[in-house]
Structure 1
Amino acid sequence: MHSDAAAVNFQLNSHLSTLANIHKIYHTLNKLNLTEDVGQDDHQTGSLRSCSSSDCFGKVMPPRKKRRPASGDDLSAKKSRHDSMYRKYDTTRIKTEEEAFSSKRCLEWFYEYAGTDDVVGPEGMEKFCEDIGVEPENVVMLVLAWKLDAQNMGYFTLQEWLKGMTSLQCDTTEKLRNTLDYLRSLLNDSTNFKLIYRYAFDFARQSKYKVINKDQWCNVLEFSRTINLDLSNYDEDGAWPVLLDEFVEWYKDKQMS
């Protein structure tokens, strides 16, 4: 009887030792994330976790491993990302090409108004003004001619066009329309205004009406900047040209009458 009890105790201790070793190995694998998910039919390990002995067994479920995509899914995902990146790059590239200045496009734009000539004449200029939405006599056209350094009123040569439009980075009608406000703003700068004013004299010198010379033209600008509207600070003994002396005399007589 005693021998039978000893045998039972020996077998029980052996089983407990085996179960403890299995438990230790299981948790070691679990820490290394090498265990698989436990299914509902895995009654053996399930019964192992149901053991109430806190010394030997824990109730912590092994973490569920993330599903790795199948090879086909992985390739599809990579292809989708690649296509998306390519479309984004392609769209950016096209947009950049449209925004970047093109000498070829600028040349084609010039010949829309020049026809077969190497100069935009009065007829082409009229169409050009209509397309950009300004009247030919608008002051912004004078500023544009100044930027192109045009030598003759009503004409833009090929060289003037390419040089000036390149400096403005305009190769289409739309781009020039968007630049008109910038051209007008140049008149607000005193230095630019003086340069444009002086340029206007040479630009219009082909006119048959030559009333004043260039010095008188520049003196008119200085007169407008320094003399009060009521002419109260005008010095008749100053170094003003006779033309302005006559203007002041005429104006005062008109005010008195």
Structure 2
Amino acid sequence: MRRTPTKKGPSNSTSSSNSSAIDQFRSGGRPATKEFEFIDQLYHSYAKNSSGIIDPEGIEHLCSDLEIDHTDVRILMLAWKMQSEKQGYFTLEEWRRGFKSLRVDTLNKLKKALPDLEKEVQRPSNHVNFYSYAFQYCLTEEKQKTIDIESICQLLELVLGSVFPPQVDSFVQYLRIQSDYKVINMDQWMGFYRFCNEISFPDFGNYDAELAWPLILDNFVEWMRLK
């Protein structure tokens, strides 16, 4: 139960106190500032009343208003910009961080910022960070360290398919027909990113299996050469 603060001197009216308390609750326990006024208003139009957090239903609503599908990679890019920790959920702090970084405070401005966000993610210095984040974002259970093959295939197509189409298409095809691996870990995930950036494809002329590549990539290259 919320405490009523003790004040010296004359107290404000009951309605004023209640309004102030509601504003403080809605701003995540801190008094709302002018800087976040419109950002917070937009957040609460999608947040669940009971939890004060944007959940998967709220994100679908946001996607609908942005006129993009909820599986669109730009939503993942937005989560990356917010540094969202839990898949399918945005906290007020994450929302503020993302909107402030994008320099937007309305839905209209967010729509217009999406193309620039895509360009930002595609910069090499950012893309490796985004690629790593995408894996971590999909670890939905406590202490989870791996992701099942089918989810990995979908994630690869989403975050890397437009950058390295032949490599991703071939690797996804291999992952779906092989039977040695049921899950993929972070080391294997990042190894494939390095593979795409460093190895000539599809001849694999500079691939050296003696180097520290994940075994799954040795198997993939062998499979490709036998095709």
Find 1:240's aligned residue among 206, 213, 221.
213
- The answer for the alignment partner of 1:160 in structure 2 is 94
Structure with higher helix content:
1
**8 Å contact from structure 1 (residues 102, 171) kept in 2:** no
Q: Which residue of 2 aligns with 1:209?
A: 148
Aligned counterparts of 1:112 and 1:236: Cα–Cα separation in 2:
53
How far has the Cα of 1:240 moved from its partner?
0.7
Counterpart CA distance in 1 for 2:131 and 2:44 is 30
Distance 1:185 1:242 in 2: 33
One of 186, 189, 192 as aligned partner of 1:220: 192
Corresponding letter in the other structure for 1:182: D
Matches within 5 A, 1:119-158: 119-158=53-92
Distance 1:136 1:102 in 2: 29
Is 2:110 aligned against 1:176? yes
What does the per-residue CA deviation read over 1:10-69, in whole Å, with 9 as the maximum and x for residues that have no partner?
xxxxxxxxxxxxxxxxxxxxxxxxxxxxxxxxxxxxxxxxxxxxxxxxxxxxxxxxxxxx
Matched positions, count: 154
Query: Which residue among 108, 128, 149 is the counterpart of 2:41?
Result: 108
TM-score of the superposed pair, with normalisation by structure 1: 0.57
Q: CA RMSD in A?
A: 1.7
Name the TM-score, length of structure 2 as normaliser: 0.64
CA distance in 2, matches of 1:166, 1:243: 41
Tell me, in whole angstroms, the C-alpha distance in 1 between the residues paired with 2:72 and 2:120: 14
List structure 1 runs of 4+ shifted beyond 6 angstroms: none
| Contact 2:48–2:55, Cα closer than 8 Å, also in 1 | no
Q: Distance in 2 between matches of 1:251 and 1:127?
A: 43
> Once the two structures are aligned, what percentage of the paired residues are identical?
36
Residue of structure 1 aligned with 2:134, choices 190, 200, 209? 200
Contact persistence 1:150–1:160 (CA under 8 A): yes
C-alpha separation between the residues in 2 aligned to 1:187 and 1:176?
16
In structure 1, give the amino acid aligned to 2:225: K
State the shift of 1:194 in Å.
0.7
Structure 2, unaligned stretches of length 5 or more?
Answer: 1-33, 142-146, 150-182
Q: Which residue of 2 aligns with 1:229?
A: 201
Q: Give the Cα–Cα distance (whole angstroms) in 2 for the partners of residues 125 and 184 of structure 1.
A: 19
Contact 2:46/2:54 (CA < 8 Å) preserved in 1? yes
